Structure 1
């Protein structure tokens, strides 16, 4: 780390200044709801101070300092002895798919499969669990993890499921394999063409592989989950998030109906996960929100639109300036026309919404940075974002700072892709991929996320990937392109206060400070001091939202 963290002795000397944000008491018995004491508290405030204790009233933090100071100053309905355990602000995932993750828990989990044969077995097992389901779905396969690193074909699925539609999505969500029944239901043929998508055809017949917009042609035929299934999906997703210390998520790509359901569940108390919701740019969402403007509660923040500029590197849909090194003449593609991107940028700026654009390839990043620059004009505080920013040509890097554009990155993408990304990009371009430190330097802050369910939901994996640039087996030795590793302090800020700031929420969450929501997590080890190879073993002991316990490890 760049600075030496303060010890508890130093934190004691800071008590007066840390308490200065609180109302004074002459009685020494001011009432609060909760005092957490005897902890190793990382406040993640401006100075990255450490403390021992904090007090909570009405769901917000009212004071931070030493155990002695706070217990002398306040009387609490409840006291919690942290027993020296480490405490962080509630962790924030700066880019995820919270609702879709919840729905996917009801589908076949294909992550980590080592072969297509294993994928097929999991699909068969899923069908046995839900034999009356209209569709068989799954997500998470990655051909790059198999001995034969080629896309599979639909032949086996056609044999096993001649009368039941099946679609199984690649881990990045930008490619899928559909059987013939599913293709027929969507009227997809070898002659089907579209902007921003591809139906793979070999020797005149479809292989079943669909890329980007072609996937939507099939998935649009899957019946929508009913309200009870949607509620259950959100509650299941919330339960799993709380268990890994997440108290806020940025949900990338929602429609008004889902947001309305979240809002209703927040108000009834069924849902306590804070959500920064990025809207899909469909016409119905534009019509409603452009008329009514952003929407904000303590638990829900609707002020941005999620736009897709290109696909993913793993499925060769990312839009590159030069052809893929492992596919001659193939550049990937944009998912819409340049005019459409310019038009939506102008509309979002006009109506006061953030534009958050998925961009993976260096060509897509260049185009969107230039469009952002045309609209934003220069330095600003509109906090428009480019989600992923995976491959950035050096000539374009300073545009992030010039136009105050925030890169929103997912550290585990680097450590998931590092095995094969060089094959796609070649030696020269791989050096400009996943450039987290260079991106951070542009604006001085940067939100970190996971993109779950594309990656694992556990934010600690992202912390480890950002700092050590290694996978779950601590490979490679010495880390992958360590010149772009983040410091531990930077990684912690990225998953707390910087993620909050990227959503215009830095005044209400992201640090343990007076006036902010009492969202915090107690863990069994300290990420700021343990060896990198121990980081992924961290266990969340308790998670709190508004000073109320929402998870406790059994």
Structure 2
């Protein structure tokens, strides 16, 4: 009798379970190859999304039995990863670049001139601006001079920013408008001269004199720039971007567009180190929404290695008695660090040369005075000396851009010499010291593609698979480390690891469907991986 009762109740339980209504969700993804980047459940094949967040992760059978979805996606075993995060880029700048002369990839100064002429014939603007030239890619690896520009455009000002943003070529019309003379001295940079005459090339701080006279974009232009940049980023699976240096005006514009639903991408925006900007945000505090995070300041310690503006402890190997330059005074930097340390904000400082990195790292630790979990960031950390490596721990975050290594590797040793180059682009060493590295591109200095980033980090090669064996391969990252650097570690660097960066229950449903398995595909195929679809909060945005 007892056995019959047990069987009766078991039958009733099964009957009830079969008739219970399924939980309704917005999106159910099944039959996928999911890399969750969640250490508790690294792999899965299905997940459910409701109200913009992941609510369950598991296998297809279980989730199909439990959930009824408005949109069920059969991934057909395609690879899915969390929405990618670019930990250091210039999102707004990329958008504006779409409205300027694109000089990226030019192989000679003559090609630069050709692009300018074609652009002006088409656009007929009153002030020509452009970006992307790099003399290191030319047969004659020397800074250009302004004579050709003066001849072709005597009455139209021209300002052409180098690919790294730390040098600018201008013509005589722009020099006159900016009131730059051969006797002028500007600290924190250089007005390049030859035979006592201005060549037209400015390095770092003197560029501000020209930037002040360039016509400001209209609000319509600004909105278009942001929308253009969003389209490009979604196409590469980027769902969060860290814009390294913006004004309150642009940040407020982003906020208004996000609230109106016109701009959807998530943004961590660093406030540019301008006194009135710093005062404003320190007075008003951190600002945070689901799509916008304003909690850090972007500071420049030095310039770039390619334009010899990076501050080095010893002279450049290829230019005697030249050390580069700090673009901020030591006392000013120390005072700023103390002000930020007394607030809830992060301090994120551009540091390329070993001297700049030494100043930044030491000043950070002195200002924080043993505080933990402040996550102050060193942006780039390109050349670090052994003594500074020894100081590093997990209280700081190294924000690095792997494609810088593969872009610079052709000439970096000429700048640094064979000993200093060993501490350059040392991502594995930085990871071992700090426990995490946040990975980005620094676009439009480099290409937007996060797959180029992934390849450069893992293979340490350029897109032509050079060099054989990889550039300083000891500092390559594993694929797992690289994926974390572009997702959960990048989120950590923004204090956002509890809301994004992995496919985890309760986090935003930001994810990317890839055409190939980025974790197992043949190494040289990584740069060509295509995005099948990009989802933000469960909504398909690409």
TM norm. shorter chain > 0.5: yes
Equivalence for 1:507: 498
Shift of 1:376: 1.3
2:9 corresponds in structure 1 to none
- 4+ aligned runs moved over 2 Å, structure 1: 24-28
1:83 lines up with 2:76 in the alignment: yes
Contact 1:86 1:526 in 2 (8 A): yes
Secondary structure of the 1:351 match is coil
Aligned partners of 2:117, 2:315: CA distance in 1, in Å? 38
Distance 2:412 2:236 in 1: 29
Q: Deviations over 1:6-37 (max 9, x none)?
A: xxxxxxxxxxxxxxxxxx99935011011011
User: Counterpart of 2:349?
Assistant: 357
Aligned to 1:309: 301
* Cα contact 1:61–1:512 (8 A) shared by 2: yes
CA distance in 2 between counterparts of 1:519 and 1:470 reads: 29
Determine the C-alpha separation between the residues in 2 that align with 1:255 and 1:460: 29
Report SS of the residue matched to 1:397.
helix
- Paired with 1:112 and 1:286, the residues of 2 have a C-alpha distance of 36
Secondary structure at the aligned position of 1:128 is classed as helix
Gaps of 5+ in 2: 1-16
| SS of alignment partner, residue 260 of structure 1 | helix
Equivalent position to 1:128, from 98, 115, 121: 121
Distance (whole Å) between structure 2 residues aligned to residue 114 and residue 233 of structure 1 = 27
Deviations 1:279-309 (A, max 9, x none): 0121221222111100000000000000000
Query: Does residue 1:461 correspond to 2:465, yes or no?
Result: no
Q: Deviations over 1:111-156 (max 9, x none)?
A: 111100001100111111211x221111111100111000000000
Matched, 1:67 2:79: no
Q: Is the 8 A contact 1:366 1:396 kept in 2?
A: yes
Query: Could you state the TM-score of these two structures normalised by the residue count of structure 1?
Result: 0.94
Q: Secondary structure at the match of 1:321?
A: coil
C-alpha contact (below 8 Å) 2:406/2:456 kept by paired residues:
yes
Report Cα offsets for 1:153-197 as digits up to 9, x if no partner: 000000010000001111000001000001111001111111111
Q: Secondary structure at the match of 2:70?
A: strand
**Structure 1 residue runs without a partner (length 5+):** 1-23
Distance 1:303 1:219 in 2: 26
Q: 1:323 aligns with which of 289, 293, 315?
A: 315
Offset at residue 423 of structure 1 (A): 0.3
Q: Give the total of aligned pairs.
A: 526
The answer to whether the 8 A contact 1:245-1:540 is kept is yes
In 2, distance between residues paired with 1:328 and 1:159? 33
Question: How many angstroms apart in 2 are the aligned matches of 1:486 and 1:47?
Answer: 22
CA distance in 2, matches of 1:549, 1:25: 32
Q: State the secondary structure of the residue aligned to 2:342.
A: helix
Contact 2:278–2:297 (CA<8 Å) still a contact in 1? no
Per the alignment, residue 445 of structure 1 pairs with: 436
Q: Give the alignment partner of residue 103 of structure 2, picking from 95, 110, 124.
A: 110
Deviates more, 1:232-241 or 1:403-412: 403-412
Aligned to 2:218: 226
Between the aligned partners of 1:170 and 1:159, the Cα distance in structure 2 is 21
CA, structure 1 residues 28+40, in 2 after alignment: closer, same or farther (shift >3 Å)? farther
The residue that corresponds to 1:525 in the other structure is 516
| Aligned counterparts of 1:480 and 1:223: Cα–Cα separation in 2 | 42
Residue equivalent to 2:11:
none
Which deviates more from structure 2 when the two are superposed, residues 307-316 or residues 74-83? 74-83
Q: Partners in 2 of 1:392 and 1:377 — Cα distance?
A: 22
Relative to structure 1, the CA distance from residue 26 to residue 439 in structure 2 (aligned partners, 3 Å threshold; closer, same or farther) is farther
Q: Say whether 1:346 aligns with 2:371.
A: no
In structure 1, distance between residues paired with 2:131 and 2:201: 14
Aligned-pair RMSD on alpha carbons? Answer: 1.2
Structure 1 contact 110–119 (Cα < 8 Å) conserved:
yes
Q: What's 2:195 paired with?
A: 203
Say which SS state the counterpart of residue 56 (structure 2) adopts: strand
Instruction: Report the 3-state secondary structure (helix = DSSP H, G, I; strand = E; otherwise coil) of the residue aligned with 2:132.
Output: strand
Q: Distance in 2 between matches of 1:251 and 1:348?
A: 19
How much has 1:108 moved relative to structure 2? 0.9
Q: How does 1:371-386 map to 2 (within 5 A)?
A: 371-378=363-370, 380-386=372-378
Q: The residue matched to 2:244 in structure 1 has which SS?
A: strand
- What secondary structure is seen at the aligned counterpart in 1 of 2:337? helix
Distance, in Å, in 2 between the alignment partners of 1:543 and 1:175 is: 36
Give the one of 422, 432, 435 matched to 2:423: 432
Does the 8 A contact of 2:177 with 2:213 survive in 1?
yes
Deviation of 1:448 after TM superposition, in Å, equals 0.2
Matched, 1:272 2:242: no
Structure of greater Rg: 2
Partner-residue secondary structure (3-state), 2:206: helix
Deviation at 1:377, TM superposition (A): 2.1
SS of match in other structure, 1:235: helix
Q: Distance in 1 between matches of 2:448 and 2:199?
A: 31
Q: Is the 8 A contact 1:60 1:547 kept in 2?
A: yes
Residue matched to 2:481: 490
Per-residue displacement from partner, 1:379-422 (whole Å, max 9, x unpaired)?
61000000000000011102221x71111000000000000000
Alpha-carbon displacement from aligned partner over 1:22-72 (angstroms, at most 9, x marks no partner): xx9993501101101111011000246110010000111100000001111
Answer yes or no: is the 8 Å Cα contact 1:400–1:407 preserved in 2.
no
- Return the offset for 1:235: 0.2
